[in-house]
């Protein structure tokens, strides 16, 4: 009977006590009548026209934030995995099949269902299909938010819309890429939704959806491990709640059901192509995460960078990592503030929320790719505390003016960033191939150059997709696969300027005759070309990468390459400034007139923003004149 009474008491959702909650919220938050400012704010909140305008602008803001990412090479190897699974009718593969260098045979990576899904989206609809997949995920996350508000009998008002906008911006550091990790964003939001749904309604049978969820999640993306940790932290926190604040906790029967669901969820993760070995491999990765080599990998790869430095950002990076870091920090402060308010006013506290809020915030700040978990969870935490536990139902209306100002700031920030950036932004997944070395790999496949390839880390993702089985890669973004030795050697070789002797020693260990490097490795490209004795020749380059060959391949290549177009006219329609600057560096070194042509293309096609364009033009002109003078000095020597 006691437990039934507790359930009745705890299951009081706002739908039956709206007026009481509103009165309690007013009294608790502001003892006197609302000031004219708050009255105006509440009146603004009741405007249906304004609310629908903000609702309509929300997807526009998210759309502006999520452009096609120019450095997204992970999706290519993910799709290569998906293609392999589909064409070989399997869910298990030898991960070393795409590489010619030694790999770690113990490393396991399983996104079989996730990789198949994005491969099929791309195979049937191209880049637009991947964009559609991303926005289907966003729609699923939004639906979980909307249904949660409905559960609390809370309208989606301007404050709620602004919070969703903040979450969208905060998640963008990790979720702007088209890859299986988007499934984790979607599934995590519903995992948290179910948890809070049970806390509010006490319908404990919903906990038993978790094993089914994890059965799929383990085969979609590796962040299922974060989901298990979230459930473990929640369960631990609920036990503490039961001990410390039994009047506002799950009942004993609900705790038992939650514990059983957690256990069954863990068991469900064993249902994957690699069984328990996959889980042991993840555990091994966590344990060895602090090793020197792992730390080097994390510092070198953007997905693992820390967001802490962005709290001090005052340049353009503030609108990227800075916004994410500050939004997450303010979210944590809000959780702590509301919890402190509950302790002071009601002598109670939800320990579980404090545990997983702090943990998810810390992990998100430590590792960029984990930065979406806390913002998503915060939506449920915030409204659960504000509406269900503290009964401050009228607060969202009172802060409408502040929420509107924040939304305007977010929107204007997105417009500002796109205005001051010289880059040619792309949306709807269009232009993905323009950002990949498509023509460069077509050149290799057409002329069938013999020998192994040396490539950089990022571009290896696309080479896995487009060159296999004709060529295998030196390295690619599947970092764990190369942790035995290759990654350390690669990092040592590419993190400094190298000379001919360095290259020869490197080739003794890893014999290759072809080099394919993204322009981000421009210094290394130059080092190969200036290594001495004309050992390396630049035979092809396009928008994204350069192809070099060893001199031993020249006799074969020169006889086949009579009709290869290396003219600067190829770039006459290019608008991206970085692409033009990259190809300019190659042209101006060999032919200043070709460099002048790229200079004119840059002048015509690139937008002028804050005099950045003119600064680049001045530098290009100076370089052209310097090279022209150098050529004139060498001319008499050549004739003599």
Helix (H, G, I), strand (E, B) or coil at 372: coil
pTM (2 decimals)?
A: 0.90
Q: How confident is the model at residue 213 (pLDDT cuts 50, 70, 90)?
A: very high
Task: Answer with the one of 405, 420, 435 that is the final residue of a domain.
Answer: 420
d(CA 97, CA 472): 8
Closest by CA to 372, choosing from 60, 137, 156, is: 137
Q: Is the distance from CB of 317 to CB of 350 less than 8 angstroms?
A: no
Environment class of residue 284 by beta-carbon count within 10 Å: exposed (0-12), middle (13-18) or buried (19+)?
middle
Q: Is the dihedral of CA 611, 614, 616, 618 positive or negative?
A: negative
- Residue 423 pLDDT: 63
- Structure tokens given for 344: 């002071």
Q: Pairing relation of β-strands 545-550 and 514-518?
A: antiparallel
Residue 609 in any domain: the answer is yes
Residue 397 in any domain: the answer is yes
Lowest mean pLDDT among 380-394, 413-427, 441-455: 413-427
Tell me the per-residue pLDDT of 152-211, one tens digit each, with 9 for 90 and over: 999 999 999 999 999 999 999 999 999 999 999 999 999 999 999 999 999 999 999 999
Residue 383 in any domain: the answer is yes
Q: Nearest 5°: phi and psi at 59?
A: -65, -30
DSSP classification of residue 473: B
Tell me the per-residue pLDDT of 361-413, one tens digit each, with 9 for 90 and over: 999 999 999 999 999 999 999 999 999 999 999 999 999 999 999 999 999 99
Any alpha helices (H) in 542-611, and if so which ranges? 554-560, 577-590, 592-605
Q: How confident is the model at residue 424 (pLDDT cuts 50, 70, 90)?
A: low
d(CA 116, CA 44): 47
- Residue 291 pLDDT: 72
Mean pLDDT value of segment 466-472: 95
- Structure tokens given for 632: 């004139």
DSSP classification of residue 224: H
| Mean pLDDT, the chain, whole residue set | 90
- Structure tokens given for 180: 């299986």
d(CA 250, CA 243): 10
Task: Answer with the one of 375, 405, 420 that is the final residue of a domain.
Answer: 420
- Structure tokens given for 551: 């001199």
The secondary structure element, H or E, covering residue 467 is helix 460-467
Cα 71 off chain centre by: 11
Residue 20 in any domain: the answer is yes
Cα distance between the two ends of the chain: 108
d(CA 28, CA 390): 9
- The total domain count for the chain is 2
Name the more confident of 76 and 285: 76
Tell me the per-residue pLDDT of 508-561, one tens digit each, with 9 for 90 and over: 999 999 999 999 999 999 999 988 778 999 999 999 999 999 999 988 777 777
Tell me the per-residue pLDDT of 81-111, one tens digit each, with 9 for 90 and over: 999 999 999 999 999 999 999 999 999 999 9
Name the more confident of 610 and 159: 159
Residue 481 in any domain: the answer is no
Residue 74 in any domain: the answer is yes
Residue 463 in any domain: the answer is no
Which residue has tokens 């820390």? 306
d(CA 568, CA 596): 10
Full DSSP string of 490-534: HHHHHSS---HHHHHHHHHHS--SEEEEEGGGHHHHHHHHTSSTT
Tell me the per-residue pLDDT of 47-63, one tens digit each, with 9 for 90 and over: 999 999 999 999 999 99
When computed from its CA atoms, the radius of gyration of the chain, rounded to whole angstroms, is 28
Lowest mean pLDDT among 221-235, 411-425, 470-484: 411-425
- Structure tokens given for 14: 């706002």
Residue 179 in any domain: the answer is yes
- Structure tokens given for 15: 């739908």
Tell me the per-residue pLDDT of 100-150, one tens digit each, with 9 for 90 and over: 999 999 999 999 999 999 999 999 999 999 999 999 999 999 999 999 999
d(CA 192, CA 583): 49
Range of 630's domain? 567-640
Tell me the per-residue pLDDT of 333-350, one tens digit each, with 9 for 90 and over: 999 999 999 999 999 999
Which residue has tokens 């090479």? 73
Task: Answer with the one of 391, 420, 449 that is the final residue of a domain.
Answer: 420
- Residue 636 pLDDT: 64
Helix (H, G, I), strand (E, B) or coil at 550: strand
Express as a percent the part of the chain with pLDDT over 90.
73
Q: How confident is the model at residue 631 (pLDDT cuts 50, 70, 90)?
A: confident
């Amino acid at each position: 009977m006691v437990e039934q009474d507790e359930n009745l008491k705890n299951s009081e959702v706002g739908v039956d006590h709206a007026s009481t909650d509103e009165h309690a919220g007013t009294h608790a938050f502001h003892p006197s009548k609302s000031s004219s400012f708050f009255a105006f704010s509440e009146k603004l909140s009741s405007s249906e026209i304004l609310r629908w305008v903000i609702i309509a602008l929300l997807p526009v803001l998210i759309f502006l934030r999520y452009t096609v990412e120019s450095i997204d090479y992970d999706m290519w190897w993910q799709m290569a995995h998906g293609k392999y699974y589909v064409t070989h009718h399997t869910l298990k593969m030898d991960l070393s099949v795409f590489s010619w260098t030694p790999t770690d045979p113990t490393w396991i990576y399983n996104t079989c269902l996730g990789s198949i899904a994005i491969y099929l989206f791309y195979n049937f609809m191209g880049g637009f299909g991947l964009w559609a997949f991303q926005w289907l995920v966003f729609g699923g996350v939004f639906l979980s938010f909307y249904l949660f508000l409905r559960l609390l009998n809370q309208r989606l008002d301007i404050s709620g819309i602004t919070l969703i906008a903040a979450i969208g911006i905060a998640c963008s550091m990790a979720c702007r890429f088209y890859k299986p990790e988007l499934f984790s964003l979607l599934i995590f939001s519903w995992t948290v939704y179910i948890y809070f749904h049970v806390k509010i309604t006490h319908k404990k049978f919903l906990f038993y959806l978790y094993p089914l969820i994890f059965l799929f999640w383990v085969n979609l993306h590796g962040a299922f491990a974060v989901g298990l940790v979230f459930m473990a932290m929640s369960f631990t926190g609920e036990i503490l709640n039961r001990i410390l604040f039994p009047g506002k906790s799950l009942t004993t029967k609900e705790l038992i059901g939650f514990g059983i669901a957690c256990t069954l969820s863990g068991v469900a993760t064993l249902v994957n192509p690699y069984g328990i070995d996959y889980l042991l491999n993840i555990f091994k990765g966590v344990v060895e995460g602090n090793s020197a080599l792992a730390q080097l990998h994390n510092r070198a790869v953007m997905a693992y960078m820390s967001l802490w430095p962005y709290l001090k950002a005052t340049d353009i990076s503030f609108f990227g990592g800075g916004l994410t870091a500050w939004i997450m920090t303010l979210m944590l402060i809000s959780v702590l503030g509301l919890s402190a308010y509950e302790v002071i006013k009601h002598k109670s506290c939800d320990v579980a929320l404090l545990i997983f809020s702090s943990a998810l915030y810390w992990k998100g700040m430590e590792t960029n790719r984990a930065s979406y978990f806390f913002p998503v969870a915060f939506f449920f935490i915030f409204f659960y505390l504000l509406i269900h536990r503290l009964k401050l139902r009228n607060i969202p209306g009172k802060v409408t003016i502040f929420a509107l100002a924040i939304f305007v700031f977010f929107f204007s920030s997105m417009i500002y960033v796109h205005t001051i950036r010289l880059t040619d932004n792309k949306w709807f997944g269009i232009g993905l191939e323009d950002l990949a070395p498509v023509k460069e790999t077509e050149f290799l496949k057409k002329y069938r150059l013999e020998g192994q390839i040396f490539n950089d880390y990022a571009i290896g993702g696309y080479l896995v997709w487009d060159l296999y089985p004709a060529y295998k890669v030196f390295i690619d973004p599947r970092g764990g696969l190369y942790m035995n030795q290759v990654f350390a050697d690669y990092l040592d070789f590419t993190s400094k300027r190298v000379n001919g002797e360095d290259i020869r020693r490197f080739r003794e260990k890893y014999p290759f005759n072809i080099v394919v490097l993204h322009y981000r490795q421009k210094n290394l490209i130059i080092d190969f070309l200036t290594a001495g004795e004309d050992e390396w020749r630049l035979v092809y380059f396009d928008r994204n990468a350069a192809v070099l060959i060893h001199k031993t391949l020249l006799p074969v290549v020169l006889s086949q390459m009579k009709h290869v177009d290396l003219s600067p006219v190829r770039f006459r329609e290019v608008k991206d400034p970085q692409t033009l600057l990259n190809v300019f560096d190659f042209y101006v070194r060999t032919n200043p007139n070709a460099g002048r042509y790229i200079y004119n293309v840059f002048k015509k096609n690139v937008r002028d923003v804050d005099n950045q364009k003119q600064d680049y033009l001045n530098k290009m002109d100076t370089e052209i004149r310097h090279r022209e003078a150098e050529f004139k000095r060498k001319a008499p020597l050549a004739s003599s």
